[in-house]
Chain A
């Protein structure tokens, strides 16, 4: 029974990682109605930027917010320089750009920073082992950060005019333009915010899994499962979905299918959700008249 409880606690800790990345996926989907495959690689690049800043002697929190700012700018630039020229192209073109971006950013990170595993610092430390050593102070702290980001995102979309304009621009670009929203800039802003949230996720994940250019490769898949499970258009749902996938994956791996099929559980969740309930557990069902 001890083992069972431990698996759940360890699952929640890993789920926190998925939740933070799932939130970034939902963010870009909210803003652009696309899933950016390069999200993980962009977040890894941001984390390396933070790592360089810390190594150059900056205090952690200065590097943390500095990285968020730099990532925001990178996100906006990517939209302006890469996405805008193909804005009216078919969806497949966008997918092509996303995959190209994934390869370019991923390899560039490796080229600049090397492929050796690196240690990333954490601001959350404790002398006492928590929950029998299963959860580190960092994992608790990063969950708090994820929840804070979630509340900020929710409040931003719910209460600010800019948030409303961004949702409108993504949902119905033509009508938005008619009421005076600058749709192009809203998209760029969405990219910037998604990159910034990705950077937060990267900086929270790196102390747990260690930093290297492939850090996000596997995580993105689980995070995608979490985002779909919770509802791809619902930040709250994505976070809950992330935690749920972490726990489910551990329990299934330990007691049902064995560790060899753990990854398959994530894939099964993706397919299951898409077949049974495409909007996810908390997503809104959208009807459109044709």
Chain B
């Protein structure tokens, strides 16, 4: 077929009409919301190196299935779309634009990863799209003034470091502290967290050493920091295992803290040597399915019942499921608070006005809460210590510093 001037013009006219249609629709309804449906979008690493996290999306999808079975929310069914970004930031941007511009979702929920969310941080804020409860522990998602449309969920790395610093000041008020951290945003959150609590005393109390993610070992850094009373490690699993082993081997016995990113029994404690990590301290905010304390717990009972009915083949010991259940419960609370108004403005207003609430899969005493001026959704954690076989919780729930 040959393209004449007339067909071209006709095509252009059709195109213009197509462009105008969504605007018409928007006048009557909020984007992504119809009389019967709310569309929610997300990205996750469904493939690639960190695809173990993809179970979070599976669990959330099952939670929305349950919600729809129960009649939906505000008289509407939830339509949850997840695209694979393979943990690659350029693909996150591409898939997010597809969700926003093509699928026209109402808002974005629980996208996975720090570098990946970094790639869309500016985009979603410019377009004023709620970017809710991200699956990352970076501190930068709590900037209500600069980025009002983005909010995290889990305790940030910075909050975690503040909690360690509070405990250190209580236990070793005059201790010399060593900090080993990865030289990027992840590691620096711990540096900032310690500074928040130690303030002017930081320079006098703390010695730091950094490593690059590409370094083969952290031996040299351990030698450099050797001798301090306290050691805080903000390292990814491979270097965590190296650090635990080397600190033990050189006979250094500090009070040692490990970021809760790197406390997996299989990926860190076993490689390091189970007995070499005895006394190591970390923190958590979730109930662990394998902990006998929760065998008859009401919240965990609710979660187990849900898993049995909606995800019967899932591995219950994978704590990504308790995480997903917590973040999903939070979002459903926000949707209920919205009433009948699912406009982007109202979704964001409700997401940042959650009164302190308990979540079935979080430790007792740890609340989910938000205020328009404070986007740190979970601010408390409980410490736990490695006894050579498993992690044992101790002490009270500690709250991060308010800065």
Interface residues of A (CB under 8 A from B): 3, 6-7, 10-11, 13-14, 17-18, 110, 115-119, 129, 132-134, 136, 205, 208-210, 212-213, 217-219, 221-222, 249-250, 253-254, 259-260, 262-263
Contact = CB atoms under 8 A, between A and B. Distances in A.
Given A3-B224, A117-B268, A210 B242 contact: yes
A218 B242 contact: no
A117 B271 contact: yes
Given A119-B271, A134-B250, A17 B210 contact: no
B214 A249 contact: no
A262 B209 CA distance: 11
A1 to B, nearest CB: 13
Nearest to A249: B220
Interface in B49-85: 49-50
Given A136-B249, A259-B221, 19 more contacts: A6-B226, A7-B223, A14-B219, A14-B220, A133-B251, A209-B242, A210-B238, A210-B241, A210-B271, A218-B212, A218-B213, A218-B214, A218-B215, A253-B220, A254-B220, A259-B210, A259-B211, A262-B211, A263-B214
B399 to A, nearest CB: 32
A117 B267 contact: yes
B290 interface: no
A14 B216 contact: yes
Interface of B: 49-50, 183, 209-217, 219-221, 223-224, 226, 237-238, 241-242, 246, 248-251, 266-268, 270-271
B224 A263 contact: no
Nearest to A252: B220
Nearest to A18: B216
A217 B211 CA distance: 15
Contact of A259 (B216, B224, B237, B250): B224
Given A218-B214, A254-B220, A254-B224, A133 B250 contact: yes
A209 B217 contact: yes
A129 B251 contact: yes
A222 B216 contact: yes
A129 B249 contact: yes
Contacts of B267: 116-117
B400 to A, nearest CB: 27
B310 to A, nearest CB: 26
Contacts of A6: 223, 226
B48 to A, nearest CB: 8
Nearest to A17: B216
B84 to A, nearest CB: 15
A86 B221 CA distance: 45
Contact of B220 (A129, A133, A250, A263): A250
Contacts of A10: 219-220, 223
Nearest to A116: B267
Given A3-B226, A259-B221, A116 B238 contact: no
Contacts, number: 96
B242 A219 contact: no
Given A129-B249, A209-B238, A263 B223 contact: no
B217 A208 contact: yes
Contacts of B49: 110, 115, 213
A132 B251 CA distance: 8
A129 B248 CA distance: 10
Given A116-B266, A132-B250, A134-B223, A219 B216 contact: yes
B221 to A, nearest CB: 6
Top-5 shortest CB links A-B? A218-B214, A133-B249, A133-B250, A250-B220, A115-B49
B9 to A, nearest CB: 46
A263 B212 contact: yes
Which of A10, A119, A136: most chain B Cβ within 10 A?
A10
B224 A117 contact: no
B246 to A, nearest CB: 8
Contacts of A116: 266-267
A129 B5 CA distance: 85
Contacts of B246: 133
Given A132-B250, A136-B249, A217 B221 contact: no
A263 B266 CA distance: 30
Contacts of A217: 214
A227 B66 CA distance: 60
Contacts of A210: 238, 241-242, 271
Contacts of B249: 129, 133-134, 136
Nearest to B181: A259
A260 B251 contact: no
27 contacts: A3-B226, A7-B223, A7-B224, A10-B223, A17-B216, A115-B49, A129-B249, A133-B246, A133-B248, A136-B249, A205-B216, A209-B217, A218-B212, A218-B214, A219-B216, A250-B223, A253-B221, A253-B224, A254-B223, A259-B209, A259-B210, A259-B211, A259-B220, A260-B210, A262-B215, A262-B220, A263-B212
B220 to A, nearest CB: 4
B214 A221 contact: yes
A17 B216 CA distance: 9
Contacts of B219: 10, 13-14, 134
Given A6-B223, A249-B220, A262 B271 contact: no
A212 B49 CA distance: 11
Nearest to B224: A254
Nearest to A13: B219
Contacts of B270: 119
Contacts of B224: 3, 7, 253-254, 259
Given A10-B223, A110-B49, A259-B224, A209 B271 contact: no
A11 B217 CA distance: 10
